[in-house]
C-alpha cells in the first residue's frame, strides 16, 4: 500500500481493512477492471480509493501539479457524491491531491472554475457531469480510472443514457470499477459493454446479508400505522433514526405529526434545495435532530455515525430497496435495527420482499404503550447517573430537598419530570395478524402439463390460475409452479389431484379459448428456474426496449449522411397543399374556396329577420342598419 494512504488510515484508527477493502486491494487486481458486489456500510468508498491509488500515483507518493482529471467518481445523488469527496479528501490528504465536485443543485460557474484550475479527482453526479462534458468544461483525455458507485441505483433512477454517454466519451484504455449492492442483469450488461474482462468480486455470501442488522416485521392494525411509528421511535430511543416513506406527501404528513408530538425531526425529499438538505443532515450529525423522515432517493448516500434505527413507514417496492434502506444502519461493525411497519393488507407483499432479500425477520406486534413505559423504566433504572458521586455543588440542594420532602415524594417528582420530557406512547389496537408466517406444507409428488399459448398469446399466471381451478375442479393449493414461456405455458399439478383434474377437463383436454393441455412425462427444463422478482421483470422489460443512440453516435450519423449527400443535387420537396404551376391550380383553388364557403358557419346578422322589408333609401339592399343609424332612429322616435 502507498505510504501516505497507509498513514492516513492509521491516523483514522484503522487497525484492519474490511473484507471489501482487502479484496479490491489485491495486488493481482491492480490493473484489472472490477465489478464489485458489496453491501452498503462495508467501507467500499475507502476501498475504491485504495484500489485506484496505484493507477493514479504509480510509484510516486505525491501527485504532480493538477491539470486534467486523472480519476472520475460517479455517484447517484448529491449527498453520496459529497460524502465520497469527504472520504477521499482525508484518505489522499498527504498526497497533495486536488479535488473537485460536480453535482446538481450547486453553482455551475464555481464548478467550472474549479475544473479550470485543475483537479486530480472529480466526484460527480451523472446529469451534471454530462452537462460539463457537453459544454467542454471537463476534459477527459488524461483519465486513468472511472468508478461507478451504487451503479444499480443509478440505473433505477434513469441515468443509463447519461452513463453510456460518459463512458463512451472516456478514453478506451482507462480502468473501470463498478460497485453495487446488487448485480442484476442490467448491471452485468453495462459491465459487459464498457469494461474489459472485468473481474467479479463478491465480498460476502448472499445468505449473510446484513448480519449486523436485526430485522423486525411489526404487525399493526390498518389505522395504527403512524401511531406504531411513534411507539417504535419511543421504544428504541435511538440517537439517530431514519424513517422511510414512498412519497413526498407522506414525508410531509409524518414530519408534521412527529414534530407536533415533540420529536426533534427533519425531513428530506426531492423538493428541498441543496442548502436545506445540507442543514437537515448537519442537524442530525450535531444532535439538534434525532429523527429524519425521507424518501428513498433523497436518503441515498446518507452516512450518519450514530444511526441505530431504520423504520419503514411504507413497505419498499422491491427487495433491493429494502437492502439499500436497511444498509443505512449496522455500518462498520455497529449493530442496528430495521423495523417494518406491516398493516394486514401488505403482509404477503412484505413476506415476498423479505424472501427476495434473503433476510429473516422476527415477526411481532408493534410496541404497545405498556411496553414503551416499561422500557422507559429500564432506561431510568440503568442510567449511569446513579453511579456518579454527589458533588459538593449538589450537597446543599440535596439536603434542602430532604428537609422539605420525604424520599418517596422526591422520587415521584423525579419520575414526573422524567416523563414530562418524553412523548407519551400511543394506544394501539390489536392487529389480528399471526406471528411468524407459516411455511407451506410439502407439496409432494407432482405432474407437469404443457398448455398451448404463452406470453405472445397474453398468458399470465394470474389469469391461468383461476381458469385451471374452474376447468379442472381443483383449488389453488393443488397447483404448484406456473412457468409462462414465449409460446407455451407449463403448469405443475399435485399428483394426488391429477386424476380428478383430467376427469374434469375431459378427454379432449381443451380449456378456454381452445387451448390444449398435454401431460408431460418429465418436468420441463424451466421447472427449477426461480420466478424473477418484480424489479427484475421491470429491468428486463427496459433492457428489451430499443436503446436511444448517444449524442456521439447521432453526431457521427449526421456526418456520414452529410458526406454521402455531398455533391448531390437536393431533391425538390413536393408540396402537399395546392398543386404546382404545371397543373390546373386555378380550378383547384376555386374548388377549395367553394368548399370553405359551404362549411363556413353563418351568423344571424347575415340574413335579415324580415327580408320583405326594405330599408328606406336603400332599395335592393338586404343589409341591416348600422349601430349609428339605429341610434339616430331611436332618438327620433323618443322626441314628442
β-pair partners for 99:
121
Q: Using CA of residue 363, residue 365, residue 367, residue 371, what is the dihedral sign?
A: negative
Tell me: pLDDT of 605 over 70: no
CB count within 10 Å of CB 519 equals 13
Contact 557, 202 (CB under 8 A): no
DSSP 455-516: GGGT--HHHHHHHHHHHHT--GGGEEEEEE-SSEEEEEEEHHHHHHHHHHH-TT-B-GGG-B
DSSP 153-173: HHHHTT-HHHHHHHHHHS-TT
Q: Quick one: pLDDT band at residue 601, thresholds 50, 70, 90?
A: low
Query: What pLDDT, on the 0 to 100 scale, is given for residue 206?
Result: 42
Query: What pLDDT, on the 0 to 100 scale, is given for residue 615?
Result: 47
576-599: pLDDT as tens digits: 454 554 456 666 666 776 666 655
459 CB-near residues (< 8 Å, 6+ apart): 451, 453, 484, 489
**Angstrom distance (rounded) from CA 354 to CA 370:** 29
Q: Quick one: pLDDT band at residue 629, thresholds 50, 70, 90?
A: low
Of 590, 631, 543, give the one whose Cα is nearest residue 185: 543
**Angstrom distance (rounded) from CA 122 to CA 118:** 10
Tell me: pLDDT of 618 over 50: no
Of 22, 32, 323, 333, give the one whose Cα is nearest residue 178: 32
For the domain covering 3-204, report its CATH number. 3.40.50.300
**381 grid coordinates:** 433504572
Tell me: pLDDT of 531 over 90: no
pTM, entire model? 0.60
Tell me: pLDDT of 606 over 90: no
Q: Which helix (H) or strand (E) holds 79?
A: helix 78-91
User: Per-domain residue ranges for the chain?
Assistant: 3-204, 209-373, 446-530
509 CB-near residues (< 8 Å, 6+ apart): 502, 516, 517, 518
Chain-centre distance for alpha carbon 309? 20
**Angstrom distance (rounded) from CA 231 to CA 56:** 51
140-181: pLDDT as tens digits: 999 999 999 888 778 877 888 889 899 989 998 899 999 887
**Angstrom distance (rounded) from CA 98 to CA 55:** 16
- Judged by DSSP in three states, 639 sits in coil
Query: What pLDDT, on the 0 to 100 scale, is given for residue 120?
Result: 93
Contact 51, 199 (CB under 8 A): no
Alpha helices in 136-264 (DSSP H): 151-156, 160-169, 185-194, 225-236, 248-260
- Judged by DSSP in three states, 583 sits in coil
Average pLDDT, the chain: 82
For the chain, how far is it from start to end, CA to CA, in angstroms?
116
Query: What pLDDT, on the 0 to 100 scale, is given for residue 285?
Result: 84
Using DSSP bridges, classify how beta strands 199-202 and 34-37 pair: parallel, antiparallel or unpaired: parallel
Query: What pLDDT, on the 0 to 100 scale, is given for residue 534?
Result: 56
Tell me: pLDDT of 423 over 50: yes
Tell me: pLDDT of 18 over 70: yes
- Residue 281 exposure: Cα atoms within 13 Å on the Cβ side: 21
574 φ, ψ (degrees, to nearest 5): -85, 125
Average pLDDT on 461-473 reads: 88
119-129: pLDDT as tens digits: 999 999 999 99
Contact 466, 474 (CB under 8 A): no
- Judged by DSSP in three states, 76 sits in coil
Query: What pLDDT, on the 0 to 100 scale, is given for residue 154?
Result: 83
CB count within 10 Å of CB 282 equals 12
Contact 88, 308 (CB under 8 A): no
Of 624, 604, 606, 628, give the one whose Cα is nearest residue 615: 624
Average pLDDT on 385-406 reads: 87
**Helix pair angle (44-51, 3-11), 10° resolution:** 160
Of 198, 266, 254, give the one whose Cα is nearest residue 230: 254
Contact 129, 166 (CB under 8 A): yes
**Angstrom distance (rounded) from CA 478 to CA 497:** 7
Same fold, 3-204 and 446-530: no
**591 grid coordinates:** 374548388
Q: Using CA of residue 529, residue 533, residue 537, residue 539, what is the dihedral sign?
A: negative
Looking at domain 446-530, its CATH class is: alpha beta
Q: Which residue has the cell 443535387?
A: 569
Q: Which helix (H) or strand (E) holds 199?
A: strand 199-202
Correct CATH for 209-373 of 3.40.140.10, 3.30.460.10, 3.40.30.10, 3.40.50.300: 3.40.50.300
Chain-centre distance for alpha carbon 280? 20
Chain-centre distance for alpha carbon 40? 15
Amino acid at each position: 500500500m502507498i505510504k501516505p494512504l497507509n498513514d492516513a488510515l492509521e491516523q483514522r484508527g484503522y487497525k484492519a481493512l474490511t473484507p471489501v477493502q482487502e479484496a479490491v486491494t489485491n495486488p493481482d487486481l491492480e490493473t484489472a477492471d472490477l465489478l464489485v458486489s458489496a453491501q452498503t456500510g462495508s467501507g467500499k468508498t475507502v476501498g475504491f480509493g485504495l484500489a485506484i491509488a496505484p493507477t493514479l500515483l504509480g510509484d510516486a507518493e505525491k501527485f504532480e501539479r493538477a491539470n486534467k482529471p486523472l480519476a472520475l467518481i460517479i455517484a447517484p445523488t448529491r449527498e453520496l457524491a459529497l460524502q465520497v469527496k469527504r472520504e477521499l479528501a482525508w484518505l489522499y490528504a498527504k498526497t497533495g491531491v486536488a479535488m473537485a465536485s460536480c453535482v446538481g443543485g450547486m453553482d455551475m460557474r464555481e464548478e467550472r472554475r474549479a475544473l479550470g484550475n485543475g483537479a486530480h479527482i472529480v466526484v460527480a453526479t451523472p446529469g451534471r457531469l454530462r452537462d460539463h462534458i457537453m459544454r467542454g468544461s471537463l476534459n477527459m483525455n488524461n483519465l486513468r480510472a472511472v468508478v461507478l458507485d451504487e451503479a444499480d441505483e443509478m440505473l433505477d433512477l434513469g441515468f443509463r443514457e447519461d452513463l453510456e454517454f460518459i463512458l463512451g466519451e472516456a478514453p478506451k484504455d482507462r480502468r473501470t470499477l463498478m460497485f453495487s449492492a446488487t448485480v442484476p442483469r442490467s448491471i452485468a450488461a453495462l459491465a459487459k459493454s464498457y469494461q474489459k474482462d472485468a473481474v467479479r468480486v463478491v465480498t460476502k455470501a448472499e445468505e449473510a446479508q446484513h448480519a449486523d442488522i436485526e430485522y423486525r416485521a411489526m404487525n399493526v392494525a390498518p389505522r395504527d400505522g403512524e401511531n406504531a411509528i411513534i411507539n417504535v421511535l419511543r421504544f428504541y430511543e435511538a440517537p439517530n433514526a431514519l424513517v422511510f416513506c414512498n412519497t413526498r406527501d407522506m414525508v410531509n404528513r409524518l414530519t408534521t405529526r412527529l414534530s407536533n408530538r415533540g420529536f426533534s425531526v427533519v425531513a428530506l425529499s426531492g423538493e428541498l434545495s441543496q442548502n436545506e438538505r445540507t442543514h437537515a443532515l448537519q442537524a442530525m450529525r450535531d444532535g439538534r435532530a434525532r429523527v429524519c423522515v425521507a424518501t428513498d432517493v433523497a436518503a441515498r448516500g446518507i452516512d450518519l455515525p450514530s444511526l441505530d434505527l431504520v423504520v419503514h413507514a411504507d413497505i419498499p417496492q422491491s427487495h433491493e430497496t429494502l437492502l439499500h434502506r436497511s444498509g443505512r444502519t449496522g455500518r462498520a461493525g455497529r449493530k442496528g435495527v430495521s423495523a417494518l411497519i406491516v398493516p394486514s393488507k401488505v403482509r404477503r407483499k412484505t413476506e415476498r420482499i423479505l424472501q427476495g432479500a434473503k433476510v429473516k425477520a422476527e415477526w411481532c406486534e408493534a410496541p404497545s404503550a405498556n411496553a414503551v413505559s416499561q422500557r422507559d423504566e429500564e432506561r431510568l433504572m440503568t442510567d449511569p447517573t446513579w453511579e456518579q458521586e454527589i458533588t459538593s455543588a449538589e450537597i446543599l440542594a440535596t439536603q434542602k430537598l430532604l428537609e422539605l420532602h420525604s424520599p418517596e415524594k422526591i422520587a415521584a417528582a423525579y419520575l414526573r419530570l422524567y416523563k414530562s420530557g418524553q412523548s407519551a406512547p400511543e394506544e394501539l389496537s390489536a392487529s389480528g395478524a399471526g406471528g411468524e408466517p407459516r411455511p407451506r406444507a410439502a407439496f409432494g409428488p407432482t405432474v407437469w402439463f404443457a398448455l398451448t399459448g404463452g406470453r405472445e398469446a397474453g398468458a399470465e399466471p394470474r389469469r391461468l390460475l383461476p381458469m385451471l381451478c374452474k376447468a379442472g375442479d381443483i383449488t389453488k393449493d393443488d397447483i404448484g409452479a406456473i412457468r409462462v414461456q414465449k409460446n407455451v405455458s407449463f403448469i405443475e399439478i399435485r399428483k394426488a389431484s391429477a386424476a380428478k383434474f383430467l376427469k374434469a377437463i375431459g378427454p379432449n383436454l381443451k380449456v378456454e379459448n381452445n387451448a390444449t393441455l398435454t401431460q408431460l412425462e418429465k418436468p420441463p427444463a424451466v421447472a427449477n428456474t426461480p420466478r424473477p422478482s418484480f424489479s427484475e421483470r421491470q429491468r428486463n422489460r427496459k433492457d428489451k426496449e430499443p436503446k436511444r443512440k448517444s449524442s456521439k453516435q447521432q453526431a457521427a450519423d449526421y456526418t456520414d449522411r452529410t458526406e454521402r449527400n455531398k455533391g448531390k443535387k437536393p431533391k425538390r420537396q413536393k408540396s402537399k397543399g395546392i398543386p404546382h404551376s404545371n397543373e390546373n391550380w386555378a380550378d383547384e383553388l376555386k374548388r377549395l374556396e367553394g368548399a370553405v364557403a359551404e362549411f363556413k358557419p353563418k351568423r344571424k346578422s347575415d340574413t335579415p329577420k324580415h327580408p320583405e322589408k326594405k330599408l328606406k333609401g336603400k332599395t335592393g339592399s338586404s343589409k341591416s342598419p348600422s349601430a349609428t343609424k339605429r341610434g339616430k332612429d331611436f332618438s327620433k322616435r323618443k322626441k314628442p
